[in-house]
Structure 1
């Protein structure tokens, strides 16, 4: 399971920690809906889930705050999450309304994986749009997984790398569209 400091960090942001996700494979549709878990067997998903904290959040509650330094990611189990980035002259203010929406995430989505990998400050903020349940995985748990079950650890890292590559492609495509629009105006 995640380290005590990760649990403390999660509680400090106001999320309810209800234990671990030992039976991750039992979440209806999760293995099929999640790009990260789609190639996992139920047993592999349960091994991963045993290393993850189960958390809950209420609508409107902050899950991840832009600029915070944390080393964990979330797998959305239930609910909908808004992802936003502060942009413009008011970028230093931590007001939800000052954010530009980047995405709306649904069950099976992963959030916060970049900071888990690189330890850098959070790039964007995430809010619960509905009641949310999520599984939290920290960097130390990934290291334990790689050591104890390298085949599952490798599978997880490959899937997360594919996810990051796809997000980079999408971002690059959006940037090209903006640059083309600027050169035509």
Structure 2
């Protein structure tokens, strides 16, 4: 398993995603990034992912941070905020289970575009750039 992202150290680590593979598979119809994955492919992918829990109000991704991981929401909701020119957070979207966040920064290495905050108890699977390279 790859090293865990230090940006997630404040969140509860639940282990690898293999124990959540069936739940991830059930969310595939909502996930355009993984919509063409078969059951065996989702199970294989789960071997390279870790699962975390965040409680309401906890930051998962911070605007401007480096982006070496992406996540897929398994359960709960996440609010996505972008700071305006007065540095005031503006709500852009609320996403639910099956959606992915952070994939562009993981791929292109650019800083995070927005801040993602758990809107309630949230479970999500994380795929790091290092793990993606090993797949």
Which TM-score applies when normalising by structure 2?
0.91
Alignment partner of 1:130 out of 115, 120, 124: 120
Partner in structure 1 of residue 42 of structure 2: 45
* CA–CA distance in structure 2, aligned partners of residues 138 and 129 of structure 1: 23
Partner in structure 2 of residue 112 of structure 1: 102
* CA–CA distance in structure 2, aligned partners of residues 139 and 7 of structure 1: 10
The RMSD of aligned alpha carbons is 1.5
Runs of 4+ in 1 over 6 A off after TM superposition: none
Partner in structure 1 of residue 29 of structure 2: 32
The total of aligned residue pairs comes to 134
* CA–CA distance in structure 1, aligned partners of residues 35 and 105 of structure 2: 23
- Give runs of aligned pairs for residues 33-182 of structure 1, distance below 5 A: 33-89=30-86, 91=87, 98-145=88-135
Larger gyration radius, structure 1 or structure 2? 1
Residue 65 of structure 2 aligns to a residue whose secondary structure is: coil
> Which structure shows the bigger proportion of residues in helix conformation?
1
> Relative contact order, CA 8 A, sep 6+: which one is greater?
2
Which TM-score applies when normalising by structure 1?
0.68
* CA–CA distance in structure 2, aligned partners of residues 16 and 85 of structure 1: 25
Alignment partner of 2:8 out of 7, 10, 14: 10
Show structure 2 runs of 5+ residues with no match: none
Residue 37 of structure 2 aligns to a residue whose secondary structure is: coil
